[in-house]
Each structure stands twice: as structure tokens, then as C-alpha cells.
Amino acid sequence: MGPVSKGGDASVLLSCHGLHRWFGGVSALDGVSMRIMRGEIFGLVGPNGSGKTTLVNVITGFYPPQRGRVEFEGRDITGIRPHRVTSLRIVRTFQNIALFRGMSVLDNILLGRHVYMRPGALRTALYWWLARKEEVAHRRVVEDIIDFLQLESVRLDPVDVLPIGLQKRVELARALAAEPKLLILDEPMAGMNMEEKEYMARFVLDVHYERGVSVIMIEHQLDVVMGICDRMAVLNYGEKIAEGVPREVVSAPDVVKAYTGLRRSDA
């Protein structure tokens, strides 16, 4: 990780500079630059295959970029490992639900605390009293999140039996357990019905306002993000074709063009 750059703008939380990522002959990201400001909800939209998830993978260290730079709070974090990214309190959710099947809601959320647990601390009999104290503290954080996201009635249920809307909410809960400064949600509303989407939008806003978390929210539907984000960017074939406040972005000619030809329900 590089040094804190001098003279950086403290209101910028995350910045991407000329990111390139290709897979064989496919250019998934083609020189993407953007800035996420502290305290904003930033929408990242684009048609299927436009590079949204790849951008998240590049930011969070899953696939380092072949070219370009990522800075968080003025530090160069390009290419650092995913667990170190999490310890900087950049926390993501996955597009395909990645919960531990067979485990309860409570235990899944508790796993989000692993970033704060010393290796083996919970298992070391010799230090049982220390472990006990730590476990109580972790549980307190988790119970608070369960309450915040209204998961009380399902806390002991195995995650597999829950409807998709609730599973997505458990993923949000697990991400919150890692106490993010920047929360990156990869299509948190995919597969949901309208009512579930409204619920999720409400929770994202609550997380933002009540916990002061900055959010990048990925969606491929424009209307869903427009209503809740402060600013947004649009990707198309790995290129950023627009960035700004939603009202301006949705009427930008390139965006209109990228979204025409899609089914009405997709735009």
C-alpha cells in the first residue's frame, strides 16, 4: 500500500484512475476513472456485461487491474489482497448470494466479524476468558445489526429456507458487521419483487443516514438507483459513458443510446 498522497482532496473517499482489465480478448474495463465522495450513495449502472462487477472486483482486490490505479482515502490500494481491502473497511456483497448454507442467520452475520477476530481467539481454551469477552462484544454488534435490519424473527433460521429478499438482507447485515466506511452492493435487489425492492432501498438509505456509510450501489436498471443515489455513473462495454447527478446522466445521449434496444422492462 502506498503513502498518503499530499494535497489530496479529503472529501474524495475512493478514486479510480484509468483502470483496464481484460480477460483474454475481452476488454471488461477500458480506462475507467471515477471518484466517490465521502458520504454519498453512488449508483453504478450499465447493461449486462458492461463491466460493473469487474470494477468491483478490481477495487476490492479480487482481480487486480492490468493498468490503472485505485486510491482509498488518498492511499494507493491497487492490487492489495481482498482481506486487506476489508480491513480498510471497504466491504462488498456479491451479485450471486454467497451465504453459508446450512448455517443460521445469526452465524452468517457473525462471520462478518472475522476481520476483527484474532486468529483462533474463539477456540483457544487457554485464553477462554479473553475469547469469552471478545465473543460477547462481537455478539453485541451483531444483535444490534439484526435489530437494525429487522431480522429478529428469523435470526436462528438456516439461511437456505429464507426467500431471496431476506437472504439479500442477511448479506447486507453480514457486510455491516465488518463496519464498512465504503459499502459496495452488487445488485442488491436482483431477483426481488417490487415490495422487496422498496424494502431494500429503505434499508440502504437507513444504513447511509443512520450509520454514515458511503455506498456504491450497482444495478442494471436505471430507475431503481435513480431514486436513491446522489450521483451515478454508467458503464457500457467497459467504458464509462456518463457520470453526474441522476437527472443529467439519464438524459445524456450516450446513455439513451446504450439503453435503447433493450426491452422496456430493462431500462
Ligand X SMILES: Nc1ncnc2c1ncn2[C@@H]1O[C@H](COP(=O)(O)OP(=O)(O)OP(=O)(O)O)[C@@H](O)[C@H]1O
Chain residues in the site for Mg ion (CB under 5 A): 52-53, 95
> What secondary structure, in 3-state letters, does 131-146 show?
HHHHHHHHHHHHHHHH
Which phi-psi region, left, alpha or beta, contains residue 239 (left: φ > 0; alpha: ψ -120 to 50)? beta
CB of 238 to ligand X, least distance (A): 7
Q: Name the one range near ligand X by CB under 6 A: 42-50, 132-140, 152-160, 255-263.
A: 42-50
CB of 217 to Mg ion, least distance (A): 12
Burial tier of 253 (Cβ tally within 10 Å: 0-12, 13-18, 19+): exposed
Task: Give the one residue of 31, 39, 49, 64 binding ligand X; rule: CB under 6 A.
Answer: 49
78 part of the interface to ligand X, by CB under 6 A: no
Q: Name the one range near ligand X by CB under 6 A: 46-54, 117-125, 143-151, 224-232.
A: 46-54
- Quick one: what does residue 28 bind among Mg ion, ligand X, none, with the CB cut-off 5 to 8 Å set by partner type? ligand X
Of 8, 226, 190, 159, whose CA–CA distance to 93 is shortest?
190
96 part of the interface to ligand X, by CB under 6 A: no
3 state SS of 236: strand
CB of 28 to ligand X, least distance (A): 3
- Binding to ligand X (CB under 6 A) within 19-38 occurs at 23, 26, 28
Residue 82 Cα distances to 61, 206, 231, 232, 257, angstroms:
5, 26, 26, 25, 35
Task: Give the one residue of 15, 36, 43, 50 binding ligand X; rule: CB under 6 A.
Answer: 50
CB of 31 to ligand X, least distance (A): 14
53 part of the interface to ligand X, by CB under 6 A: yes
- C-beta of residue 90 within 8 angstroms of C-beta of residue 60: yes
92 part of the interface to ligand X, by CB under 6 A: no
Q: Which residues contribute to the site for ligand X (CB under 6 A)?
A: 23, 26, 28, 46, 48-54, 95, 220
